[in-house]
Amino acid sequence: MLERIKKTEKFSYEYIGYTLKLDMIAVRSTSGDTEKFKAAVKKIAENTTLPLILCSTNANVLEAGLMAAPNARPLLYAATKENWKDVAELGLMYKCPVVVSAPNDLGLLVSLAKTMIAYGVEDLVLDPGTFPDDGLPDTINNFTMLRKAACKGGEELAGFPLLGVPMAAWVGKGDAAEEIVKWREAYLAGMLTTRYADVLIMHGLDGWSLLPNAVLRQNIYTDPRKPVAVDPGLKVFGTPDEKSPVFFTTNFALTYYTVASDIESSKMNAYLIVVETEGSAVDSGVAGRKLTADKVAEALKATGIESKVKHRKLIIPGKASRISGEIEELSGWKVQVGPRDSSEIPKYIIDKWQP
């Protein structure tokens, strides 16, 4: 148990300026024993700061978990047509959000949500059911229809966050090898992410399974109207001196982190000037006049690089070669056109750099 908690908390990946992490820990009762569940929740709550999801359709079991962590305000999973009133009482008493579950029955799901709201529980999450293998078409259709009903059908009760359970791939797995089940869980998580799931409960903790889905989530839910950008300025790699090479790139996060990674991995001592381009990449920045010779010349002055190196040579991205002459004219620096792909920078320095 503690090992799984540590793995969950330690999962971390730096991705274009964001730290991708896991957000919650789900605790599921498999025995229905209230004391065992209470002890498990208590131990977990004492060893993590992550929010919890308590999983059981038995209200007594859920209450035992709540008693073990009374101030945690976990997500209660789940209220069904059989137990909704008991779970609603717990939600009100402990001020917890509640998952409403009606597998493969969207009409009942919306009806239960309406009933819970009328009872006073307003923080709801909807679970339309997750069915792997032959039930996959119904799963994808249910998630899609809920979002369509909320966005186009005017059904406000279908607009609550949606919960998917890719770990359902582990239920009734039969003779399937563990690696196969992990793959099923991973691709099911990816499908649900693209079909509007807001919360996913997974069992596997393998990096190859979690990381692609964490990146997919980040890519989908990044505001497309706001380019992912880093702060402009001077970046230092290694311990550069007055003879070290000077590069520039744009402040588009993906471009910057790619270039920075290639310079860093080569163990090179260098300066990198990040030019403000409103989050545009090199080629699109040049084409759209977001990356201009004026901006590069201004960045050379603003960063104070002239006081750090004796030479006046600037290595520019290959895709910015068309503005090389303007940069030389406006800045007074000699421009060397570098490679189009930053992975070739180490070889370029060996072959062509002379301060």
Q: How far apart are CA 336 and CA 343, in angstroms?
A: 17
What backbone phi and psi angles, to 5 degrees, belong to 19? Answer: -100, 115
Residue 172 pLDDT exceeds 80: no
Instruction: State pLDDT tens for residues 292-331.
Output: 999 999 999 999 999 999 999 999 999 999 999 999 999 9
pTM (2 d.p.): 0.80
Select, from the ranges 1-15, 83-97, 161-175, the one with the highest average predicted confidence (pLDDT).
83-97
pLDDT greater at residue 344 or residue 16: 344
Q: Which segments of the chain belong to CATH 3.40.50.11600?
A: 233-352
pLDDT for residue 228: 84
Please check the confidence at residue 211 and state whether its pLDDT lies above 90.
yes
Q: What is the pLDDT of residue 225?
A: 73
Q: Residue with structure tokens 């609550």?
A: 160
- Domain 2-220: which CATH number of 3.30.465.10, 3.40.50.300, 3.40.50.12140, 3.20.20.20: 3.20.20.20
- Residue 262 is predicted with a pLDDT of 95
Which band of pLDDT confidence, cut at 50, 70 and 90, is reported for residue 190?
very high
The band of 344, judged by pLDDT with boundaries at 50, 70 and 90, is very high
Residues of the chain with CATH 3.20.20.20: 2-220
pLDDT over threshold 80, residue 17: no
Report pLDDT digits (tens) over 217-259.
998 988 777 778 899 999 999 999 999 999 999 999 989 999 9
DSSP state of 74: P
Between CA 157 and CA 108 the distance in angstroms is 12
176: alpha, beta or left? (left if phi > 0; alpha if psi -120 to 50): beta
CA distances from 269 to 235, 244, 264 (A): 11, 6, 9
Name every residue whose Cβ is closer than 8 Å to that of residue 228 and which is 6 or more positions away in sequence. Answer: 16, 17, 222, 252, 253, 254, 279
Judge whether 100 and 116 are in contact, CB under 8 Å. Answer: yes
Q: Which residues contact 112 (CB under 8 A, 6 or more apart)?
A: 79, 80, 81, 84, 100, 102
Checking if the pLDDT of 212 tops 80, the result is yes
Say which CATH topology domain 233-352 has.
Answer: Rossmann fold (3.40.50)
Q: Is the dihedral of CA 315, 317, 323, 325 positive or negative?
A: positive
